[in-house]
Amino acid sequence: MTRDRPFLWQTRQMKPVEVAVMVQVNSPIGNLLLSASSRGLTGVQFENDIVERFVVTDAFKKTELKQATQFVHVVEQQLKEYFARQRTAFEVRLDLHGTPFQVDVWKSLARIPYGKTTSYGQQAKWVGRPSAVRAVGGANGRNPVAIVLPCHRVVGANGSLTGFGGGLERKTWLLELEKWK
């Protein structure tokens, strides 16, 4: 699957987030890279993400590594259930790293029900910034936990499919999985 905006993460120099564990898993939409810290899941990345968002470090204690590994195992199982249409919401602690605005936008994605879509404008209203539609789109493009926080459920004001970090082909596939029409 191709990426519709290949240089999204190169728009700004971003220091990679240090994580305790990173695991590649297979999925129906290609390989996914899952990462976690001892505080929660930090990432669900598509295999064609061109910039390192996360870097594994040995700065974590053994107990922290164990906790991070548990977060990855939990979300790996939940993703399998999601792709099998047996799960409609994810239940895993998140460790989000971004600006306060980005984190607010990412958290608001959890409000979008399975099988439904919303617009960037509606999402901007949810975060109390109704005129920041483009900024919301930019934050969604930097969502570090794709699928878990469902940025694929955000569409243009007229219902059209718009940019998606994993590519429009994946966005379409995910929406079809959720029976979006």
Among residues 93, 102, 97, the alpha carbon closest in space to that of 38 is found at 93
Question: Please, which pLDDT band fits residue 52 given cuts at 50, 70 and 90?
Answer: low
Strands 118-119 and 154-155, sheet pairing: parallel
151 is catalytic: yes
CATH topology of domain 100-177: Arc Repressor Mutant, subunit A (1.10.10)
For residue 58, pLDDT beyond 80: no
CA distance 47 to 21: 16
Write down the domain spans for the chain: 8-83, 100-177
The full DSSP string for 138-172 is: HHHHT-SBTTTS-GGGEE-TTS-----TT-HHHHH
For residue 45, pLDDT beyond 70: yes
Active-site position among 72, 151, 154, 175: 151
Residue 72: other Cβ atoms inside 10 A: 23
- Does 160 or 51 have the greater pLDDT score? 160
pLDDT in tens, 60-114: 788 888 999 999 999 999 999 999 999 999 999 999 998 999 999 999 999 999 9
Among residues 24, 17, 22, 21, the alpha carbon closest in space to that of 53 is found at 17
Contact present, 42 and 95 (Cβ < 8 Å): yes
